[in-house]
Every structure is written in structure tokens, then in C-alpha cells.
């Protein structure tokens, strides 16, 4: 059985998409891939803005489960145009998640589901149940 974790701030987006923001498996949270659209669904320009939005959405989900940025243990980033923006993405990830970084795999892709998206993050967090 899937235990869905969904913060109130993402309830409308989750309902519209049908996706679970995260699914808990024991002490681990497996988050749905997050693109950089803001809370209203508008996709901003620039990889930095999109990365910050994606991370903030992911951290809202982790927070709803009782965790924080330090709980992120693994991240896969999917990039459209990685050669042009990886340094920007890296700087935002370091600022938001802090060091040491989680295990991180970066992958160049031909395209992402959301129009205008240049980055998508898939995150796994360790958030022990209390």
C-alpha cells in the first residue's frame, strides 16, 4: 500500500496532475520529479529560477513528512541543455541543500514533460517515522 505525502500548498497541483508528490516506503520518501514551475504553474525563465522552484517544492513535501534539506540522500537531475546551465544549477543546489551534497546523478535529456522546463529533479529523502 502506498502512503502518499502531500503538503497542503501542493494540493491543487497534485489533484490536477493526479501525481503523488511523494510516496513513503518505511523511512524513505520517493518524490515525484519536480520541474521549476512556480506554485501557480507558471514556468519561469532561466535554469537558476527553475532549480530553486523545483527544490522549494521538493522541500515542502519533505517538510510535510517531518524532514528538512539535510534529509535529501539522493538526487537525479534531468537537463535540457546541461552544457549551458549546469554551473547555475550546481550553485543553486549547493545554496539550498548545503554541503555535503546528496548522492547526485546529472543526465542530459532530449526533452522534459513540461513546456519550457530545462531542469527536473528526482529526489529520495530519508525521513525516519516518529
CATH number at residue 7: 3.30.1330.40
Range of the domain at 59: 3-126
pLDDT computed for residue 2 by the predictor? 78
Number of domains in the chain: 1
Rg of the chain (C-alpha set): 14
pLDDT, tens digit (0-9, with 9 covering 90-100), for 88-127? 999 999 999 999 999 999 999 999 999 999 999 999 999 9
Grid cell, residue 7, equals: 503538503
First to last CA, the chain: 19
pLDDT computed for residue 34 by the predictor? 94
pLDDT computed for residue 38 by the predictor? 86
- pLDDT > 90 in the chain, percent: 79
Is 130 a residue whose pLDDT tops 80? Answer: no
Grid cell, residue 77, equals: 537531475
pTM of the model: 0.93
Amino acid at each position: 500500500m502506498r502512503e502518499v505525502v502531500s503538503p497542503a500548498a501542493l494540493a491543487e497541483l497534485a489533484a490536477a496532475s493526479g501525481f503523488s508528490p511523494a510516496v513513503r516506503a518505511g523511512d524513505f520518501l520517493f518524490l515525484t520529479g519536480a520541474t521549476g514551475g512556480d506554485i501557480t504553474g507558471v514556468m519561469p525563465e532561466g535554469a537558476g529560477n527553475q532549480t530553486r522552484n523545483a527544490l522549494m517544492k521538493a522541500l515542502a513535501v519533505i517538510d510535510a513528512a517531518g524532514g528538512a534539506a539535510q534529509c535529501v540522500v539522493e538526487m537525479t537531475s534531468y537537463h535540457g541543455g546541461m552544457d549551458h546551465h549546469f554551473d547555475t544549477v550546481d550553485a543553486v543546489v549547493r545554496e539550498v541543500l548545503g554541503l555535503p551534497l546528496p548522492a547526485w546523478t546529472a543526465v542530459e535529456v532530449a526533452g522534459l514533460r513540461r513546456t519550457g522546463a530545462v531542469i527536473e529533479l528526482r529526489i529520495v529523502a530519508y525521513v525516519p517515522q516518529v
